[in-house]
A and B are shown apart, each in its own frame.
Chain A
Amino acid sequence: MAKTLAEKVWDRHVVRRGSGAEPDLLYIDLHLVHEVTSPQAFDGLRLAGRPVRRPDLTIATEDHNVPTVGIDLPIADPVSRTQVETLRRNCAEFGVRLHPMGDAEQGIVHVVGPQLGLTQPGMTVVCGDSHTSTHGAFGALAFGIGTSEVEHVMATQTLPLRPFKTMAVTITGELRPGVTAKDVILAVIARIGTGGGQGYVLEYRGPAIEKLSMEARMTVCNMSIEAGARAGMIAPDETTFAYLKGRPHAPAGELWDNAVADWRGLRTDDGAVFDAEVVLDADELTPFVTWGTNPGQGLPLSATVPDPERIADENERVAAEKALSYMDLVPGTPLREISVDTVFLGSCTNGRIEDLRAAAAVIAGRQVADGVRMLVVPGSMRVKAQAEAEGLHEVFLAAGAEWRQAGCSMCLGMNPDQLAPGERSASTSNRNFEGRQGKGGRTHLVSPLVAAATAVRGTLSSPEDLVTASAGGTNTAASAQN
C-alpha cells in the first residue's frame, strides 16, 4: 500500500501494535533534554528506582534559563539557578551527556541536535518542548512531549501513542528574493489557523520547499506547532545528505553509504493519501509579519492593521479586538508605520548561521536606529563561534547591536532578556503570545531580513525599504537580497 513519509517513519518504529483502544508502542531514537521539563521526570525515576534505559540515545543542554551575558557568574534568579543546577546533578547521577553553560556545544536544544549530526532522516526524536518539530526538517518524526512522557522515554525508550493524521502542505512556484522560510510558515499558519493542524503531522513539499536550505527547512518545521500540529516533516534529499555529511555524529564510510541508500526511500509514495491537503503559491508570498497575539494573526508587510469589524467569524473578530487592544494598534495603520523599541534576532526558529548571515548582510554599513535596541543571540555556541570566524559579530557591533551568548533568551524571557511592559519588539522567534517576551511586552514575529531592516529604520520594514530610502546612496543594500 502507498504510504506517506510520516507513516513510513511511524511503521519503522512500532515495537508493538496496540489492539483496539490500546495505543502503539513507538521506539524513540533520540531524546533531547533541557532544564525546564526534566527535573520531575528524573525525580520520578529516582522514586521508582529506575535507571535511564538508554543514556546513549539521550543528550541534554542548558538553554531556556541561561543568561546571555556574564555567563561565568552564578545565575541571579534563584528558580533558574535551581533548574540548571538540578539538571547538572541529574545528568551526572543518571549518566546523561550534558552541554552546560559555557561549553562549546551548548545551545538551544533544537539547534544543537542537528548541528551535531544527531538528527537524521527517518528517526523518531522527542523532547519536553513543543518546538521539537524543528527536527522534522531532516525527514525525522519529531514532536514535543510532557513531563511524564519524558520520564516514560527515559525509563523505556518508548512511548505509547496513537498514529497522527497526515496533512500535505504543498508550496508551489518559487520564492521571490527577500522572501524567506519564515514568511512561508507565517503565511501557512495564517491560512490554516493556529488550530488547523491539530492532530496532524504536516508534510511540507513542492518545488519551493525542495529549494530551501536545511536551515530554512528547520525554520518552517519549527513553527508547525504554531498551527497546532504535532509535527512537521520534509522528505530528505541531496540537500539533507550534504548538510549531514561529515558532522560529528553522522555515519561515516560504509555506514554512510548504507544510511543514504536507506534514506532515499523516505519519501511519500506516489498515490499515498493524506488526510488533508493545503496548497500555497510561493510566487504570491511577500515578507510577512504578525500584528496580533497569536502566530496566525499575520499579514503581508505591505498591508494595514486589520479592522475587526470586517472579520465575519465571531470568534476571530473578538480575538482580533482583544489582540489589537493588547498590541495598542489602530485598524488601518500601515504595518510599515509601526515603530518598535527592540529587535530580537535569535531563537530555535531563526538563530542559526544563515539567519545571522542574512541579517548581517542587511545591516552591514548601517546603524541601528536611535532609541532601538537590537539583541543578537546565536542559537548555539557553535553558531556563535562560526559567526565570529566570519566577522559577523563585528558587523552587528559596528551597527550598534548587542552580541550575546547562546540561549533561548528573549524568545520566552525566562532569563533577564525581557521586554518591559508596553515595549514593542520585532522578533525572529515563534510566539507572539501576550507577555511571552516579558509582562506587557508586544511582539511582532518577523524574518531575520525584516528584523534587520526594522532595526535600521525603527519601524517594521523589509530590506527593500532601505534601498528606496537611500536610493542613489553608496551603501551595500543590494547585497541584502540573498
Chain B
Amino acid sequence: MEPFTTHTGVGVPLRRSNVDTDQIIPAVYLKRVTRTGFEDGLFAAWRSDEHFVLNQEPYRAGSVLVAGPDFGTGSSREHAVWALSDYGFRTVLSARFADIFRGNAGKAGLLAAQLEQSDIELLWKLLETEPGTEVTVDLREKTVRAKEFTAPFAVDDYTRWRLLEGLDDIGLTLRHAAVIDEFEQARADYLPVTTPIAGA
C-alpha cells in the first residue's frame, strides 16, 4: 500500500447525503474476479446522467471527493472503497462516515477525512464557483487547504499511522513474521497438511 502523507488534486463537490454503498457501486458490478477495474461501476446510476458532476470537466479528473454526511452506509461491501480508489480518488471528505466504510477505507489506503459540515459547505461553494480548484489534504498536519480555505479534519490515530506508513492489514501482520515463524516451529506434529495428497 502506498503511504499517504499529503495529497493535492482536483476537488469534486458531491452535494448528496446518505450515499450508500449500493449507490457507490451497484451489486451487478460485484461479479468481477479481479481486485481492480471497479471504476466503471462507481456511481454507475448517477453517471448515466450527463449532468452528474463526474461527467463534467474538470471534475472528471478529480481525486478529492467532498461529500454530504453519512457517506458509505448500507451493505458492507469492500468493493465500494475499491471503486473509489480505482477511479482515482485518494480521499473522501465528509461530516460523517458509516463505521464499516471508514474501516474498509483505512484498510485499502483511501483516507476518509471527517470535516465540520460548515467547512464542507464552504468547500462545495468554492469548488462550484471555481471548478478545477485543487484541494490539498495533509495527513501529517490533519488539515485541508484550497486557495484561501483552510480547515482541520479528524481521523483516528491508528488509521492515520497506518496510512502514513503505507501499511495494509497484511503488511502490519507481516511485521510479526518472526513470531509467526516461531509459532509454526512449535505446532503439534500430528496436525494435518493438505499436500502431498494422502492416499493418492
Option from A25, A58, A118 in Cβ contact (under 8 Å) with B173? A25
Q: Which of A25, A40, A117, A120 contacts B176 (CB 8 A)?
A: A25
Within 8 A of A (CB), among B163-200: 168-170, 172-174, 176-177, 179-180, 183-184, 187-195, 197-199
> Are A148 and B169 interface neighbours, CB within 8 A?
yes
**B150 beta carbon closer than 8 Å to chain A:** no
Q: Choose from A27, A55, A146 the contact partner of B78 (Cβ within 8 Å).
A: A146
Given A57-B193, A146-B78, residue A249 in contact with residue B170 (CB < 8 A): no
* A59, B194: Cβ atoms closer than 8 Å: yes
Give the distance in Å from the alpha carbon of A364 to the alpha carbon of B177 in the complex. Answer: 57
Q: Give Cα A146 to B107, complex, Å.
A: 13
The complex places the Cα of A47 from the Cα of B35 at a distance, in Å, of 8
Residue from B168, B180, B193 with most neighbouring chain A CB atoms (10 Å):
B193
A116 to B197, CA, bound (A): 10
| Chain B nearest Cβ from A85, distance in angstroms | 9
A258 near B192 (CB under 8 angstroms)?
no
Query: Is the CB of A157 closer than 8 A to any CB of chain B?
Result: yes
Q: Assess whether B199 is in contact with A248, with CB atoms less than 8 Å apart.
A: yes
Cβ B180 vs Cβ A15 within 8 A: yes
CB distance from B94 to the nearest CB of A (A): 22
* A306 beta carbon closer than 8 Å to chain B: no
Please judge, given known A-B contacts A21-B158, A151-B170, A251-B190, whether A40 and B180 are in contact too, CB under 8 Å. Answer: no
Which A residues fall within an 8 A CB radius of B? 15-16, 21, 25, 27, 29-30, 39-40, 43-44, 47-48, 50, 55-59, 79, 82-83, 86, 97, 116-118, 120, 123, 146-148, 151-152, 155-158, 160, 248-251, 255-256, 258-259, 262
Q: Which residues of B contact A116 (CB under 8 A)?
A: 198
Encoded as 1 (CB less than 8 Å from any A CB) or 0, chain B from 26 to 38 comes to: 0000010111100
The dominant DSSP class at the B interface is loop
Interface contacts beyond A15-B176, A118-B192, A120-B192: sample of 19 additional A-B pairs, CB < 8 Å, sorted by A? A30-B192, A39-B33, A39-B34, A40-B33, A43-B34, A48-B168, A48-B170, A56-B194, A56-B195, A117-B192, A152-B169, A156-B170, A156-B173, A157-B184, A248-B197, A248-B199, A249-B193, A250-B192, A258-B189
Task: Check if A79 sits within 8 Å of B31, measured CB to CB.
Answer: yes
B33 touches A249 (CB 8 A): no
The answer on a CB contact under 8 Å between A27 and B183 is yes
Assess the B194–A97 pair: CB atoms within 8 A: yes
Task: List B residues at the A interface (Cβ < 8 Å).
Answer: 31, 33-36, 78, 107, 158, 168-170, 172-174, 176-177, 179-180, 183-184, 187-195, 197-199
Contacting pair A15 B170 (CB below 8 A): no
A116 to B198 Cα, complex, angstroms? 9
Which one of A43, A82, A262 contacts B36 once the chains associate, using CB atoms below 8 Å? A43
**Can you list 28 A-B pairs, Cβ within 8 angstroms, ordered by A?**
A15-B179, A16-B176, A16-B179, A29-B191, A30-B192, A39-B33, A40-B33, A40-B35, A44-B35, A48-B170, A56-B194, A57-B194, A58-B194, A83-B33, A117-B192, A147-B78, A152-B169, A152-B170, A155-B170, A156-B173, A156-B177, A156-B180, A248-B198, A251-B190, A258-B188, A258-B189, A258-B190, A262-B190
- B176 A249 Cβ-Cβ under 8 A: no
Q: Are A160 and B195 in contact (CB under 8 A)?
A: no
Measured CA separation A436–B158 after assembly (Å): 39
- Whether the pair B36, A47 counts as a contact (CB closer than 8 A) is yes
A151 to B34, CA, bound (A): 13
Which chain B residue lies CB-closest to A151?
B170
Q: Whole-angstrom distance from the CB of B172 to the nearest CB of chain A?
A: 8
CB of B175, distance to nearest CB on chain A (Å): 10
By beta carbon, the residue of chain A nearest B30 is: A40
A255 CA to B199 CA in the complex, in Å?
A: 17
Complex contact B36–A156 (CB within 8 A): no
Contacts of A25 in B (CB 8 A): 173, 176, 179-180
